[in-house]
Amino acid sequence: MQPHLQPRPLRLRRHLHLAPPFLLDDGSYLPRYQLLSSIAAAKKRAQADAHLRNCKLCPRRCGVNRYERTGFCLIGDTVKVSVIAPHFGEEPCIQGHHGSGAVFFSGFCQNYDISHQRSGFDLTPEELGEWYLKLQEVGNVRNINLVTPEHVVPQVALSILHARDLGLTVPIVYNTSAFDSPASLELLDGLVDIYLADMKAWNRDTSKRLLKADDYATAARESIKAMHAQVGDLCFTPDGIAKKGVLLRHLVMPGLVGEGEQIMRWLGQHVSTDLYVNIMEQYRPDAHVGKPKRSSASSERISPLARTAAAEPGEVPEQSPKRYEDINRPVTLDEVSQVRKAAEEAGLWSFCDAAEHGGFNI
């Protein structure tokens, strides 16, 4: 008598978080610069040289000949680099286990010591391209991550083309504040695989006061649309590493939740509801934030020590008004949650979230 055969339990299939068109075949992706013909590459080189001779590539449009003098960014025909190294401070899909091959450029929007103090060393485009090869071959990085390169786009274009000739094979990440011009992004088309872009502010007044560029929001909106038109939504290989597309960051600022909500609505309506978004909470006061305001009035030029001595016994001395007092604090979790809710209501769904197990989420 045959024993009663129990039906074998069905094996549950593992469902991938992403499916085509967001999932690429492993090992099949070729960086965009590898697809350029020799004629297209020569045209890019000529365009980069022409831009250096009459530079209007960032929205400040100085129009200077950078072989002879500098414009607003104070950078000529070379680049000033603060750090070149594998970097583990980016999104997991960008850095992987080996890090992102980061090149931190001095002289534009970046951390205080890099942008304001312009620390670093000078490199020609060719020397810069040779560093990309070192990052690839020695650092075994997943990509070359160009951090705040908006003011050195011609040199960056030349460096990528030089590195291609030397054997570069990893994707290029253009890590930008989005204060780019259409001409700049046109030069980068075909050279950049991933646009890692910020959308910092929405209102003109906020841009003027905090970013010292009253046209930032307008320029950023046009730039982000152009970036998405070039490379589309972010695509990954099965190991969770991004290869091509746009990753949009928004740093939530204290007291400016309304602007964050407007940005999320605009992204959903005018860019893509499939856009990969990182809503960030890392803001901390730095640089000039929280410092005493400057005043030309002689009566206000009193040292803190003198102000304390002048106070009556038991009286709290008058405090100097602080610069940027409204953002002199971290953001709250409630503020971050409000922006996230606005994003979801706008139809956005692809977010850079921390792993639920608390570990590395690759």
Does any domain span residue 3?
A: no
Q: Can you give the pLDDT at residue 73?
A: 83
Does any domain span residue 316?
A: no
By residue range, what is the domain housing residue 283? Answer: 32-292+328-346
Q: What is the arithmetic mean of pLDDT over 172-185?
A: 95
Could you give the angle at the alpha carbon of 357 between the alpha carbons of 355 and 362, nearest 5°? 45
| CATH number for the domain harbouring residue 224 | 3.20.20.70
Residue 169 or residue 4, greater confidence: 169
- How does DSSP assign 49-107, residue by residue? HHHHHSB--STT---B-TTT---TT---SSEEEEEEEEE-SS-HHHHTTT-EEEEEESS
Percent of the chain with pLDDT over 90: 60
Short-list 247, 30, 57, CA closest to 157: 57
Listed range (60-69, 101-110, 260-269) with the worst mean pLDDT: 101-110
Could you give the angle at the alpha carbon of 143 between the alpha carbons of 138 and 144, nearest 5°? 85
What confidence tens digit (pLDDT) does each residue in 193-228 have? 999 999 999 998 888 888 888 889 999 999 999 999
Note whether 80 and 105 are within 8 A (CB): yes
Does any domain span residue 301?
A: no
Number of domains in the chain: 1
DSSP class of residue 33 equals: G
Does any domain span residue 240?
A: yes
pLDDT at position 298 over 50: no
DSSP 3-state of 264 = helix
What confidence tens digit (pLDDT) does each residue in 220-258 have? 999 999 999 999 999 999 888 999 999 999 999 999 999
Question: What gap in Å lies between CA 42 and CA 32, rounded to an integer?
Answer: 15
Does any domain span residue 351?
A: no
Does any domain span residue 108?
A: yes
* Cα separation values, 132 from 82, 89, 112, 137, 162, Å: 15, 18, 25, 9, 10
Residue 287 binned pLDDT confidence (cut-offs 50, 70, 90): low
What confidence tens digit (pLDDT) does each residue in 22-66 have? 888 877 799 999 999 999 999 999 999 999 999 988 777 888 899
Short-list 231, 187, 189, CA closest to 21: 231
Does any domain span residue 22?
A: no
Averaged pLDDT of the chain: 85
Q: Can you give the pLDDT at residue 108?
A: 57
Does any domain span residue 243?
A: yes
Listed range (116-130, 145-159, 251-265) with the worst mean pLDDT: 116-130
